[in-house]
Amino acid sequence: METLTVKNNKMDYPTFKKIIILFFPTKSKILFLAAFCFGSIFLLKSLFMRDFSFCIIISAILLFAVIFNLAVSRALLKQLMKQQIERFNKDVIYFDLVFEEDELYSKVDSSTNKAPIKYKDLKKINETNDVVFFTSNAGFKIYFEKKNASNEDIERLHAFFDKQNIKWRKSIL
């Protein structure tokens, strides 16, 4: 693959807010959804059966777990923003994501990331309506905004990663 650069990706609070769910593993997302559904079902069941003791306790515990997960995601988001401000002394960072023959790396304010990611070290790629989100085997996460890349570039990347046998999933978010 020839070198491809996706320029002017923005790293700020609204962008992080859009993709914060992608920072969590799939198991956590499924447990979050299951806890919300079961909590709601138990709450409705207790209201219709007028059995407030057992079902309300279970639904309160499950809904508390959901609220706790939402609080954790907000805390993670604030921590990411705090680290960004400490490192770069600004709220909004623009970076370029460079795809070369066998690795990808990011450039922030004309300084290149010293530790590029080899394509063989990528675990999965999630594509949402707004961003394409890369996760490495080591847990490193990087993304680029789809508005900064043409459809042809995204199709080229998709075909390239299919040849590399790296999962490229389209997310419903």
Q: What is the pLDDT of residue 33?
A: 83
Ramachandran angles phi, psi of 12, nearest 5°: -150, 180
Query: How far is residue 128's CA from residue 134's CA, in Å, rounded to a whole number?
Result: 11
Q: What is the pLDDT of residue 112?
A: 62
Q: What is the pLDDT of residue 114?
A: 59
Q: Give the contacts of 39 (CB within 8 A, at least 6 positions apart).
A: 58, 59, 60, 61, 62, 63, 65, 66
Name the amino acid, one letter, at 159: A
- Farthest-apart Cα atoms in the chain, separation: 66
Q: What is the pLDDT of residue 124?
A: 86
Q: Please name the residue that has the structure tokens 């693959």.
A: 1
Q: What is the pLDDT of residue 101?
A: 82
Q: What is the pLDDT of residue 2?
A: 66
Q: What is the pLDDT of residue 42?
A: 78
Q: Give the contacts of 14 (CB within 8 A, at least 6 positions apart).
A: none
Q: What is the pLDDT of residue 110?
A: 61
Helical residues (DSSP H) of 12-53, grouped into ranges: 13-19, 26-49
3-state class (DSSP) for residue 86: helix
Q: What is the pLDDT of residue 86?
A: 86
Q: Are 34 and 21 in contact, with CB atoms under 8 Å apart?
A: no
Tens-digit pLDDT profile for the chain (173 aa)?
Answer: 667 888 888 888 888 887 777 777 777 778 878 888 887 887 787 778 776 677 677 777 877 877 887 788 788 888 888 888 888 788 888 888 888 888 888 888 766 665 688 888 888 898 888 888 888 888 788 888 899 999 999 998 888 888 888 888 887 66
